[in-house]
Amino acid sequence: MRRLTSSNNRPREDSWLKSLFVRKVDPRKDAHSNLLAKKETSSLYKLQFHNVKPECLDAYNKICQEVLPKIHEDKHYPCTLVGTWNTWYGEQDQAVHLWRYEGGYPALTEVMNKLRENQEFVSFRKARSDMLLSRKNQLLLEFSFWNEPVPRSGPNIYELRSYQLRPGTMIEWGNYWARAIRFRQDGNEAVGGFFSQIGQLYMVHHLWAYKDLQTREDIRNAAWHKHGWEELVYYTVPLIQEMESRIMIPLKTSPLQ
């Protein structure tokens, strides 16, 4: 009799235990990219990280400054160079490039096909490959509530803050940062905010510009004196698995100076 009672109660116990660990979410009727990205544009971004052999960094920068602006300025390529930097603090001997493709994936494909026929670029890639230790890239969309990254004069330093979010939390992140961004506009430091589509997924990148490291410190400390900032930080930190900060110096030909 005792065994029968235990058996009859088991499904009910299992159901109760599962309710403790299963997170209930609201059903979504659309992809994250459609819910979070800008609707008025169809731009796609490519973020490139190149780890350069230390002895080759000067030569690498030189050929990049000779070739990349030509693609940026050529109207036959539906893309623009948003910015190009060397990492100052963070991973050393690293170059970071951010490209925008006006027209989304078709524009990306068009540029790739045209570059295969561009002999100067083919030679550039061959020379570049001998200078690199490793490279990776991501395709990104921009958050609808962030500034559009546009050229700016310098001198500035740039901070790229990269967040690896827990899978399934991108909408929550977007909802919180749509409010949080208003706390970080006073010094015109907000350059752009992006989330990954291809490459390492559930990645968020925030790009900031500062006059120098002390200005960065002052602006970030000032945010804590604004009512509501601490609450938004409290709720977004649990969404993060890993985070990284790079301080970057723009190359002379970067549109973001």
Please give the C-alpha separations between residue 97 and each of 16, 177, 238, in angstroms, as whole numbers. 51, 24, 29
On the question of a cis peptide bond just before residue 155, with omega within 30 degrees of 0, the verdict is yes
pLDDT score recorded for residue 220: 93
Tokens standing for 127? 């020379």
Residue indicated by tokens 């991108």: 170
Q: What is the pTM of this model?
A: 0.85
> pLDDT per residue over 127-148, tens digit each?
999 999 999 999 999 999 998 8
> pLDDT per residue over 18-52, tens digit each?
433 434 444 445 555 556 776 655 689 999 999 99
Domain residues of the chain, as ranges? 40-250
**pLDDT by 10-residue block (mean), the chain, 257 residues:** 44 42 45 60 89 98 97 96 98 98 94 97 97 97 92 96 96 94 89 96 97 96 92 95 98 97
At the second CATH level, the architecture of 40-250 is 2-Layer Sandwich (3.30)
pLDDT score recorded for residue 31: 55
